[in-house]
Amino acid sequence: MSVQVVSAAAAAKVPEVELKDLSPSEAESQLGLSTAAVGAMAPPAGGGDPEAPAPAAERPPVPGPGSGPAAALSPAAGKVPQASAMKRSDPHHQHQRHRDGGEALVSPDGTVTEAPRTVKKFPRSGTGATGNRIQKPEAQYHTQIQFADQKQEFNKRPTKIGRRSLSRSISQSSTDSYSSAASYTDSSDDETSPRDKQQKNSKGSSDFCVKNIKQAEFGRREIEIAEQEMPALMALRKRAQGEKPLAGAKIVGCTHITAQTAVLMETLGALGAQCRWAACNIYSTLNEVAAALAESGFPVFAWKGESEDDFWWCIDRCVNVEGWQPNMILDDGGDLTHWIYKKYPNMFKKIKGIVEESVTGVHRLYQLSKAGKLCVPAMNVNDSVTKQKFDNLYCCRESILDGLKRTTDMMFGGKQVVVCGYGEVGKGCCAALKAMGSIVYVTEIDPICALQACMDGFRLVKLNEVIRQVDIVITCTGNKNVVTREHLDRMKNSCIVCNMGHSNTEIDVASLRTPELTWERVRSQVDHVIWPDGKRIVLLAEGRLLNLSCSTVPTFVLSITATTQALALIELYNAPEGRYKQDVYLLPKKMDEYVASLHLPTFDAHLTELTDEQAKYLGLNKNGPFKPNYYRY
């Protein structure tokens, strides 16, 4: 990564605009947001409005246990990134990262003295577009501070803009490569809507709609990389090659379209299913992957930056085909299910089952079931043991260090850290930090988890008892306002504050948007909040999820989700009549164990088998399930 200093003239042109002076309408016009986009995002659009912090845009439609069914069932849910639905393993957020990465560099706060502005150049091999983009003048002349509003610019590419010289840290190497799944296709040189294009793949089929079919080759490479880390799906392909357990299945799917999903889709194809696919999120599609899928014959209807209208059009194109009627649904967020319920209720007569992955979607299904309106069996794959443990404990154990290192380059040994909450996420964070030699304190409300923390050797404290002395505050409670302005006021200089929990409520960031505090964007995702006396707090990702904003989600974790989905589909499709009623089911224990067993070869792990005699003694089947349902693992 080289840092290129733009000519002095160019630097001088960047006007200094105070954040609070900028009205939302100005922001709108300057950003060139489409009316539709602004309309959809009206409240959070005021990137410059101190009263309406933009991160709200990231809030899920179902923020907590208390939210009602109305919100859950709103079709708009599909448009807004659903943080709760994609809590951790969410590919969409990788793209969030792209955008944030761009936005983050748009950070010329007007308050600091003149400094030569630098523009970073990103000479990514094979990605001319990225390199070119930075040269475009429009990108350099964004002047207002934008708080995480980049996600609202549907029609534009992420902008990278000049950054000030870094006063606190020199190492920038890691800052700009947050995502492992690089997207090559976000250049907006092609402004034609994919809906208006006529494209054909090499076999002459045009039953798809993607941004640009010519990117298929790029996409294929991405898929091949993902395949390496998704051994379970590959093993599934091999094992089931002979029998084709999904022969005759017609699956309509609505998920994030990423390389990992592509591996899932092609696995389903290899198992005998016919698939039609749409995206469950208007941002998250990797265009080149969609192209690769289209090229290999999958009817895919998705591109990055769909409008709301496009979104539903794509779903409709998947479902509404002459001479093809789906008999399985794979959904993420419940939009597809919702659409079919509203538009094609008759279709459910043929459908054997719904597989739903996200918290939101599962919530909607339970609502339907409660209301007696669920007319097919549905499988909740969100709450399987393997998925839960991986999404939370293991994933966070890795990403907390990754996220902190990438953003702050800090050293952990001997640092005092307070972790708020000792659930699965908290346990992961504490284990990782302890291993690095940090002194870890824990705050907790639940006495059982508190006792666990004690037994694991962590000091259990209240936050205000240690807030003056700690170097890092990490929240993972799922609660709101865990770190209040009062706490922030009492922190010591250069204390790092970040959130690993749920959405962006845990740290009361809004309380920091007061005139006496100066915000300084020092890096992508890193803000210094400066008190009048000169004290600085380092706020990461503006209180949003650190592991989604500043570190990667390992493909291995996504592999577990995808495998679970595939197995759930197989189970529902092949279940004998009457095994599943019109209700929401958890994945059978045996399947859960099978998902785990498919991932064991990665570790070269050799599972022991019970002898007949031992199985008899334990009263178990030799092939599982091995544990009762209430077992806690």
Does residue 389 interact with its own copies by CB under 8 A?
yes
If one asks whether residue 88 binds its own copies (CB under 8 A), the answer comes out as no
- The answer to whether residue 607 forms part of the interface with its own copies (CB under 8 A) is yes
Rule CB under 8 A: say whether 617 interacts with its own copies.
yes
Rounded to a whole number of angstroms, the minimum distance from the CB of residue 412 to its own copies is 18
Interface with its own copies (CB under 8 A), residue from 203, 238, 342, 606:
606
What is the distance, to the nearest Å, from the Cα of residue 537 to the centroid of all Cα atoms in its chain? 26
Residue 526's DSSP bridge partners are 523, 540
Nearer to its own copies, 198 or 629 (CB): 629
Q: Find residue 527's DSSP bridge partners.
A: 521, 539
Residue 420 or 429 having the CB closest to its own copies = 420
Q: Which helix (H) or strand (E) holds 313?
A: helix 308-319
Query: What is the C-alpha to C-alpha distance for residues 366 and 377, in angstroms, rounded to an integer?
Result: 11
Q: In sequence order, what are the residues at sequence separation of 6 or more whose Cβ sits closer than 8 angstroms to the Cβ of residue 540?
A: 403, 404, 407, 408, 496, 497, 498, 499, 525, 526, 527, 546, 549, 550
Beta carbon of residue 631, minimum distance to its own copies (angstroms, whole number) = 8
Stretch that binds its own copies, among 68-76, 285-293, 512-520, 586-594 (CB under 8 A): 586-594
Measured distance CA(233)–CA(271) in Å, rounded: 11
Query: Which of 299, 478, 554, 588 is close enough to bind its own copies by CB under 8 A?
Result: 478
Nearest distance in Å: CB 260, its own copies? 19
Q: Which of helix, strand or coil describes residue 329?
A: strand
Total number of residues shown for the chain: 633
Minimum gap (Å) between residue 382 Cβ and its own copies: 13
Binding to its own copies by residue 481, rule CB under 8 A? yes
CB nearer to its own copies: pick between 238 and 342: 238
581 contacts its own copies (rule: CB under 8 A): no
**What's the closest the beta carbon of residue 472 comes to its own copies, in angstroms?**
18
- Chain positions 299 to 358 lying near its own copies, rule: CB under 8 A, are none
Cα-Cα end-to-end distance for the chain: 44
Longest dimension (CA), the chain: 83
Choose, by CB under 8 A, the member of 84, 201, 212, 505 that binds its own copies. 505
User: Closest distance between its own copies and the C-beta of residue 271, in Å?
Assistant: 21
106 or 449, CB closer to its own copies?
Answer: 449
| Residue 455 touches its own copies, criterion: CB under 8 A | yes
610 binds its own copies (CB under 8 A): yes
Nearer to its own copies, 141 or 394 (CB): 394
Count CB-CB contacts under 10 A for residue 450. 16
The helix or strand, by DSSP H or E, that contains position 266, with its residue range, turns out to be: helix 259-270
Q: How far is CA 383 from the centre of its chain?
A: 18
| Residue 518 interacting with its own copies (CB under 8 A) | no
The answer to the question of residue 482 lying near its own copies (CB under 8 A) is yes
Rounded distance between C-alpha atoms, residue 612 and residue 217, angstroms:
51
Taking the least distance from each CB to its own copies, the nearer of 10 and 460 is 460
Does 511 interact with its own copies (rule: CB under 8 A)?
A: no
Cα–Cα distance for residue pair 78/306, rounded to 1 Å: 11
633 binds its own copies per the rule CB under 8 A: yes
Check binding of 174 to its own copies (CB under 8 A): no
Cα dihedral sign, 120-123-129-132:
positive
For residue 589, the tally of other CB atoms under 10 A from its CB is: 17
Q: Is 99 in the site for its own copies (CB under 8 A)?
A: no
Provide the 8-state DSSP code for 55: G
Q: Which amino acid, one-letter code, is at 13?
A: K
- In angstroms, the Cα distances linking 437 to 127, 164, 399, 416 are 40, 33, 17, 10
Rounded to a whole number of angstroms, the minimum distance from the CB of residue 442 to its own copies is: 9
Contact by Cβ (8 Å): 61, 74? yes
Q: Pick the binder of its own copies from 453, 472, 491, 510 (CB under 8 A).
A: 453
Identity of the residue, 581 or 606, whose beta carbon is nearer to its own copies in the bound complex: 606
Query: Considering the rule CB under 8 A, would residue 554 count as an interface residue with its own copies?
Result: no
Point out which span in 127-135, 217-225, 387-395, 547-555 binds its own copies (CB under 8 A): 387-395
Least CB distance from residue 527 to its own copies, whole Å?
A: 25
Q: Taking Cα atoms as reference points, which of 115, 260, 182, 280 lies closest to residue 556?
A: 260
Give the shortest CB-590-to-its own copies separation in angstroms.
10
3-state helix, strand, coil in the chain (%, to 5): 40, 10, 45
Looking at beta carbons only, is 76 or 451 nearer to its own copies?
451
Q: How far apart are CA 263 and CA 233, in angstroms?
A: 8
* Count of residues touching its own copies (by CB under 8 A): 62
22-61 positions binding its own copies, by CB under 8 A: none
Which residue, among 98, 100, 14, 95, has the nearest Cα to 54 in the 3D structure? 100
Neighbours of 235 (CB within 10 A): 17
**599 lies in the site for its own copies, by CB under 8 A:** yes
Under the binding rule (CB under 8 A), the answer on residue 70 touching its own copies is: no
Mask 457-476, x = binds its own copies (CB under 8 A)?
A: --xxxxx-x-----------
Fill in the DSSP letter of residue 538: E
Nearest approach in angstroms of CB 450 to its own copies is: 5
380 forms beta bridges with 356, 586
Judged by CB under 8 A, which stretch of 272-280, 285-293, 337-345, 594-602 contacts its own copies?
Answer: 594-602
Q: Alpha-carbon distance 173 to 532, whole Å?
A: 31
Structure-block tokens of residue 98: 């792209």
| 583 sits near its own copies (criterion: CB under 8 A) | no
Instruction: List the interface residues with its own copies, window 413-432 (CB under 8 A).
Output: 420
Close Cβ partners of 146 (under 8 Å, ≥ 6 residues apart): 27, 31, 47, 48, 54, 103, 106
- Residue 447 to residues 71, 311, 421, 460: CA-CA distances in angstroms? 33, 45, 11, 10
Q: List the one residue from 263, 278, 294, 449 that touches its own copies (CB under 8 A).
A: 449
The β-bridge relationship of strands 536-540 and 526-530 is antiparallel
Contact segment (CB under 8 A) with its own copies among 5-13, 43-51, 451-459, 571-579 equals 451-459
CB of 602 to its own copies, least distance (A): 8
Q: Hey, is 291 helix, strand or coil?
A: helix
CB nearer to its own copies: pick between 69 and 110: 69
Residues near its own copies (CB under 8 A):
64-66, 385-386, 388-389, 394, 420, 443-455, 459-463, 465, 478-482, 505, 592-594, 596-597, 599-600, 602-611, 613-614, 617-619, 624, 626-627, 630, 632-633
